[in-house]
């Protein structure tokens, strides 16, 4: 198969969405595709064009999908969860079993965009992994910043490890943040608003590193998997993302740098109290915890714990 063509399953991995969502995007005409026999194929140029559009238009996708250029109304009868980690697919499945008749949609956006969606009442739950360099604290400072005057509840989902994706054997001998400025190093970045991008920018600020000295700083990808894939293909020497994504991409190694807390942020006034209690019960259940443990790459020691009530 030509390297310029992708199967829907490959596109799903690149965008970190389900293959059913890919087929929905094709059906709605948002992602051009054509048939080869009974199979669908997407050209790389069309995929890149879709990714560029999605950076300026935060796309709604889900089991049924919402129009790409519309926000969900505040009275939407289902629940909209912002976030990109595959664990949210598992959580949505448990919620659907526990709350029949309620549709759960996923919005595949980064941490800051998720908080803004909560503030604008276009989402019910947002996931965040935002590190504040001054306080060395995750998420709570950003919740205060992006949800001013709002009563918010921060609940831990999991903890993960962020680090560098590198080629096997680490041929460029990359060790820490300062190595990103070396002239022989090509970096691939995450998009603005993503938790990994915030971590990078905060580290650069604290270490007084000028991002203009990083070759590839302006090259952005929309997911950890997409960043890891760039490194695996040899298009970059290093990228930043989660250990979980490194486990899913062949031909890369992982350098752990920092443990992060991946939390759910909820505005209690904007969610049915019974739905909130059901969510907590799922997070604290042995069934859900065992399922997540079996996926590897996650620390569940604080899962279901209320981190802060603001």
253-301 per-position pLDDT tens digit: 999 999 999 999 999 988 889 999 999 999 999 999 999 999 989 999 9
Q: Output the pTM of the full model.
A: 0.77
Q: Is the pLDDT of residue 27 over 80?
A: no
Strand ranges for the chain from DSSP E: 5-6, 34-36, 39-43, 60-62, 79-82, 104-107, 125-128, 131-132, 137-138, 153-166, 187-190, 220-221, 238-242, 253-266, 306-309
The reply to whether 242 and 273 lie within a common domain is no
Q: What is the CATH number of the domain that holds 214?
A: 3.40.190.10
Number of domains in the chain: 3
140-196 per-position pLDDT tens digit: 999 999 999 999 999 999 999 999 999 999 999 999 999 999 999 999 999 999 999
Q: Which DSSP state fits 180?
A: G
The reply to whether 166 and 286 lie within a common domain is no
118-127 per-position pLDDT tens digit: 999 889 999 9
The reply to whether 253 and 274 lie within a common domain is no
């Amino acid at each position: 198969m030509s390297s310029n063509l992708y199967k829907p399953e490959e596109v799903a991995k690149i965008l970190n969405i389900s293959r059913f969502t890919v087929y929905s995007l094709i059906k709605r005409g948002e992602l051009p595709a054509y048939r080869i026999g009974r199979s669908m194929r997407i050209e790389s140029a069309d995929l890149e064009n879709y990714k560029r559009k999605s950076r300026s238009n935060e796309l709604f996708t889900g089991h049924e999908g919402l129009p790409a250029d519309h926000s969900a109304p505040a009275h939407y009868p289902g629940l909209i969860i912002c976030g990109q980690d595959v664990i949210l697919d598992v959580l949505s499945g448990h919620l659907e079993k526990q709350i029949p008749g309620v549709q759960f949609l996923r919005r595949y956006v980064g941490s800051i965009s998720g908080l803004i969606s909560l503030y604008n009442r276009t989402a019910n739950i947002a996931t965040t992994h935002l590190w504040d360099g001054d306080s060395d604290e995750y998420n709570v400072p950003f919740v205060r910043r992006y949800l001013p005057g709002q009563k918010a509840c921060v609940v831990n989902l999991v903890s993960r490890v962020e680090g560098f994706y590198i080629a096997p054997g680490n041929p460029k001998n990359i060790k820490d943040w300062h190595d990103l400025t070396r002239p022989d190093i090509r970096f691939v970045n995450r998009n603005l608003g993503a938790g990994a991008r915030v971590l990078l920018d905060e580290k650069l600020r604290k270490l007084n590193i000028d991002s203009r000295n990083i070759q590839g700083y302006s090259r952005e990808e929309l997911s950890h998997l997409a960043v890891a894939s760039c490194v695996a293909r040899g298009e970059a020497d290093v990228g930043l993302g989660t250990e979980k994504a490194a486990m899913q991409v062949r031909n890369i190694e992982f350098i752990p740098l920092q443990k992060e807390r991946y939390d759910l942020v909820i505005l209690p006034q904007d969610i049915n109290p019974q739905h909130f209690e059901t969510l907590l019960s799922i997070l604290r259940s042995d069934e859900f915890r065992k399922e997540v443990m079996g996926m590897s790459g996650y620390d569940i020691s604080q899962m279901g714990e209320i981190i802060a009530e603001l």
